[in-house]
């Protein structure tokens, strides 16, 4: 068993029954010209997350922890993209339109791929998801159950959207969840801080948060 100094209290896990879920570290969210930028966001705000997320993945490999990479993307024919998602707001380009990194948020296009520092390795699990939560319309539950996973460690982007949604889905399914603070980020730094606070409030209503060094030094 490993115990980490976390908030609101210690987080204890067995690496053999733990998975790291790295959420949506894709070029479409992190690089200029992708989905995040079309929505008017300053994507450079997510750059500091990349190194910390890569360090988290590297640490998980040394522990033999299952590594899951999620990828928000849609089929080229958009059959898995609800019109409500595609048509909402006034982005400069919509999902499926041609952008600087290929069609926005479409599976197989360069923009939907992972940033090189977070590229999956052989043996990692890749989950393609059409929604914000990684359990919705994906095989994630079955994969985790098949591997006997009880605890999840989270990183990725963005904290208050896909990371928090997935953590809440996981919490409702009975997983013990830890979010690693430096390995997650938002286009809105204040939303990140509030999301971390929401997770660990009320005795850990959604789970725990911890600094990366607390985990890697545990
Ligand atoms: C968003 C995500 N922000 N991965 N997706 O639309 O958080």
User: pLDDT, tens digit, for every residue of 109-150?
Assistant: 999 999 999 999 999 999 999 999 999 999 999 999 999 999
pLDDT of residue 218: 87
pLDDT of residue 206: 98
Question: Is the distance from the beta carbon of residue 157 to the nearest atom of ligand 1 less than 6 Å?
Answer: yes
The 3-state DSSP class for residue 159 equals helix
* Low-confidence stretches of the chain (pLDDT beneath 70): none
Nearest CA to ligand 1 atom 4: 162
Q: Which atom of ligand 1 is nearest to the CA of 162?
A: 7
Rounded to an integer, what distance in angstroms lies between the CA atom of residue 211 and that of residue 180? 6
How many residues would you count in the chain? 218
In this prediction the pTM is 0.98
Enzyme catalytic residues: 24, 129, 162
The 3-state DSSP class for residue 97 equals coil
Q: Which atom of ligand 1 is nearest to the CA of 26?
A: 4
CA dist 96 → 87, 104, 107, 134 (Å): 11, 5, 10, 20
pLDDT of residue 20: 99
């Amino acid at each position: 068993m490993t115990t980490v100094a976390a908030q609101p209290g210690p987080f204890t896990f067995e690496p053999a029954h733990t998975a790291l879920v790295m959420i949506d570290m894709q070029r479409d969210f992190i690089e200029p010209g992708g989905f995040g930028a079309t929505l008017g966001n300053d994507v450079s705000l997510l750059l500091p997350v990349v190194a910390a997320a890569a360090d988290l993945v590297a640490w998980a490999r040394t522990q033999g922890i299952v590594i899951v990479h999620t990828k928000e993307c849609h089929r080229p024919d958009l059959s898995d993209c609800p019109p409500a998602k595609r048509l909402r707001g006034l982005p400069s380009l919509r999902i499926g339109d041609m952008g600087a990194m290929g069609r926005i948020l479409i599976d197989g296009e360069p923009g939907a791929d992972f940033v090189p520092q977070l590229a999956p390795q052989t043996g990692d699990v890749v989950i393609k998801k059409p929604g914000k939560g990684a359990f919705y319309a994906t095989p994630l539950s079955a994969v985790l159950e098949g591997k006997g996973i009880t605890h999840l460690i989270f990183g990725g982007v963005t904290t208050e959207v896909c990371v928090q949604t997935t953590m809440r889905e996981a919490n409702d399914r009975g997983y013990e969840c830890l979010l690693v603070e430096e390995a997650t980020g938002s286009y809105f730094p204040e939303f990140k801080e509030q999301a971390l606070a929401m997770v660990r409030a009320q005795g850990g209503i959604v789970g725990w948060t911890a600094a990366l060094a607390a985990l890697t030094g545990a």
